[in-house]
Amino acid sequence: MNVLLLAEFGIPYYKDLRAEHPNINLIEAFSDNEIMQQIDSAEIVFGYLTAAQFVKAKSLKWIQTLDAGMEGLFDTVPEIIESDVVITNARGAGAPMIGEHAIALMLALARQLPRFWDDKSAHRWDQEGALNVVEYLGDKTCGIIGLGKSGKEIGWRAKALGMHVIAVDEQPVDGDPVVEEVWGLSKLDDLLKQSDYVVVTAPYTPQNENLISSAQFSIMKPWARIVVTSRGRLVEQNAYFGHYEKAV
């Protein structure tokens, strides 16, 4: 079996893979030229192909992508959708990192780090003004849109900081210790009304494009913050900028 490895960041692990699977032919190819030389015989690809590479992949049976989102691959190589090639993603692989990143962004907003950075660059000392805008995350409500693996990683971290954690999900499951309450998407507006921090982790689909638009921003708390860790297309950009221009 020929497996084509396109992810350069995986180089430190490929040696171990070869030791564990000596009967599999693991081929590293990172440049377009290298990939085109090897793609004819590849049965499995770990990474992303261009349209030209896919056309030449006559033996291909399976593509394992590097992350959760699939729309980039489908936009680049729409022929894959109708082909017999199996496509699997890496859903949840980066969930702990996303959890940390979301909390870092919430802390940066709560502690006004962008403002302090600007003050530092301008050699400006405004201690009294800073104290008036810094806030505490404990006792604030964190509303998570999409309680999958990333959502849960964000949830338990927010809970550890003393936040009240609520969530909506397409398939809500009661009794999850990470959240105080989890509802179906039909209660999105209820979540937005209650939340001081909204974290969007739901995957992008054509059905949830612009899930948060002007109507949703209008019912949020004036001081609420929104952090998007999945896809920007879930939030309508014009509505977002319009809302925060008014808030400022």
pLDDT in tens, 204-235: 888 888 899 999 999 999 899 999 998 888 89
Average pLDDT over every residue of 158-173? 95
Q: Of 145, 163, 161, which is closest to residue 234 (Cα–Cα)?
A: 145
Query: Whole-angstrom Cα distance, residue 197 to residue 193?
Result: 11
- pLDDT value of position 247: 55
Q: Which helix (H) or strand (E) holds 241?
A: helix 237-247
pTM of the predicted protein model: 0.80
- pLDDT value of position 140: 97
SS3 141: strand
- Enter the tokens of residue 127: 């201690």
Average pLDDT over every residue of 231-242? 86
Burial class (CB in 10 A: 0-12, 13-18, 19+), 212: buried
Query: Whole-angstrom Cα distance, residue 181 to residue 177?
Result: 9
Q: Where are the alpha helices (DSSP H) in 94-194?
A: 95-110, 113-121, 127-133, 149-160, 188-194
Query: Whole-angstrom Cα distance, residue 97 to residue 101?
Result: 6
Parallel, antiparallel, or unpaired for β 225-228 and 197-200?
parallel
Same fold, 2-88 and 137-247: yes
Average pLDDT over every residue of 166-171? 95
Could you give the angle at the alpha carbon of 94 between the alpha carbons of 92 and 95, nearest 5°?
60
Q: In what order do the strands lie in the sheet with 225-228?
A: 181-183, 164-168, 141-145, 197-200, 225-228
Identity (one letter) of the amino acid at 44?
Answer: I
pLDDT for 141-154, tens place per residue? 999 999 999 999 99
Please report, for residues 10, 40, 41, 49, 153, the alpha-carbon distance to residue 189 in angstroms, rounded to integers and kept in the order given.
42, 51, 51, 40, 23
Q: Which CATH class is domain 137-247?
A: alpha beta
Confidence class for position 246, pLDDT limits 50, 70, 90: low
Query: Whole-angstrom Cα distance, residue 22 to residue 60?
Result: 21
CATH number of 2-88: 3.40.50.720
pLDDT for 94-140, tens place per residue? 899 999 999 999 999 998 888 888 888 888 887 777 777 788 999 99
Cβ(32)–Cβ(53) under 8 Å?
yes
Query: Whole-angstrom Cα distance, residue 9 to residue 7?
Result: 5
Q: Where are the domains of the chain?
A: 2-88, 137-247
Burial class (CB in 10 A: 0-12, 13-18, 19+), 73: buried
